[in-house]
Structure 1
C-alpha cells in the first residue's frame, strides 16, 4: 500500500502506541495516588501490636490508619511509594533519609484487626516484624 492507505495504517499504529504509552505511564500515577482507602476503614483509637521481631507489645493511636505503615520509623519526612492499594491489603515502600527504609504490608481482617508485615533497615540495622494489630480502646 502506498499513499492514502499507508497514512491510515501509520495513524492507527501511532494511535495504538499512544494508547499503550498512556496506559503504561498512568500505572505509576495510580500506584502513587496515595488513596490507601482500606486504612480509612479501620476503627480509630488505640491499637496494640503483638508479634515477632518486637521487643514488647506496642501501642499506637490510630487516627487515619497510616500510623500502621511506619511502625519502626516514627519520624516524619519519609517518602512513600504505594505498591498495592486494594480493599483488603495495602503495601507501602518508604525511605527515611538518614535513617533507613522499609516495605510494609497491612492485611485487613476486620475494622479492628489487621496483620502487619514490615522489613527494612532502621538505624543501620536490619529488622523484620510480623505482628497482629488489634484495636484495644480509645486513645
Structure 2
C-alpha cells in the first residue's frame, strides 16, 4: 500500500515539473510581448481569446491545474523560452493549428504546435532544448474568464 502512495506522489511531482514552463510564462510579464512574443500572423493563435486560462497536463484527470493570465496568446509559442530574442520558422499556419520552430540566442530552441478546438479550448505540444536540456510537454488549456486587474500587463 505504501508503494502506491509513493507512486502517486511521484506522479504528482512529475506533473508539477512538466507544468513549470507554464509557470515561467506568468513570470515573464509584458516585457516578453515587447520583445517579440512570436509570429504575429498565426491564424490559429489569432483565434484565441486573451484572458484567464487553466492548463492541465494532457491525458490526466486529477493532475495539477495551473491558472494563467494571457493578455497575449502568442506567448504560448515559446513557453520554455519566455525571455530573450528568438527567430521563428512557421511550419503550419491553418485556422485550427499552428506549428512553429524557434531558436533563441544562447538559451535553446523548440517546436510548438497549438491546436485550437475553440477560441477557448486548445491543445499545446512543445519540445526542444532549454539551457542544454531536452524538454517535451503536452497540455490542454481552456479559457475561464477575464484576467483580474492585478494580473493584466
TM range (shorter): 0.5 to 0.7
What value does the CA root-mean-square deviation take over the aligned residues?
1.9
CA distance in 2, matches of 1:44, 1:125: 30
Contact 2:52–2:146 (Cα < 8 Å) also in 1? yes
TM-score, with length taken from structure 2: 0.62
CA distance in 1, matches of 2:123, 2:76: 10
In structure 1, what is the equivalent of residue 50 of structure 2? 44
* SS of alignment partner, residue 73 of structure 1: coil
Runs of at least 5 residues in structure 2 that lack an aligned partner in the other structure? 1-38, 148-153
Cα shift at 1:42 = 0.9
In structure 1, what is the equivalent of residue 19 of structure 2? none
CA distance in 1, matches of 2:67, 2:130: 19
TM-score, with length taken from structure 1: 0.68
Instruction: Find runs of 4+ consecutive structure 1 residues off by over 3 angstroms.
Output: 55-60
Q: 1:58 to 1:78 in 2, by over 3 A?
A: farther
In structure 1, what is the equivalent of residue 130 of structure 2? 122
Report how many residues are paired. 105
In structure 2, what is the equivalent of residue 19 of structure 1? none
Contact 2:126–2:136 (Cα < 8 Å) also in 1? yes
* SS of alignment partner, residue 69 of structure 1: helix
Q: 1:89 to 1:48 in 2, by over 3 A?
A: same
CA distance in 1, matches of 2:109, 2:137: 13
* SS of alignment partner, residue 47 of structure 1: strand
Q: 1:96 to 1:58 in 2, by over 3 A?
A: farther
* SS of alignment partner, residue 39 of structure 1: helix
Contact 2:40–2:74 (Cα < 8 Å) also in 1? no
In structure 2, what is the equivalent of residue 8 of structure 1? none
The correspondence for 1:82, drawn from 69, 90, 96, is: 90
* SS of alignment partner, residue 115 of structure 1: strand
The correspondence for 1:91, drawn from 99, 112, 122, is: 99
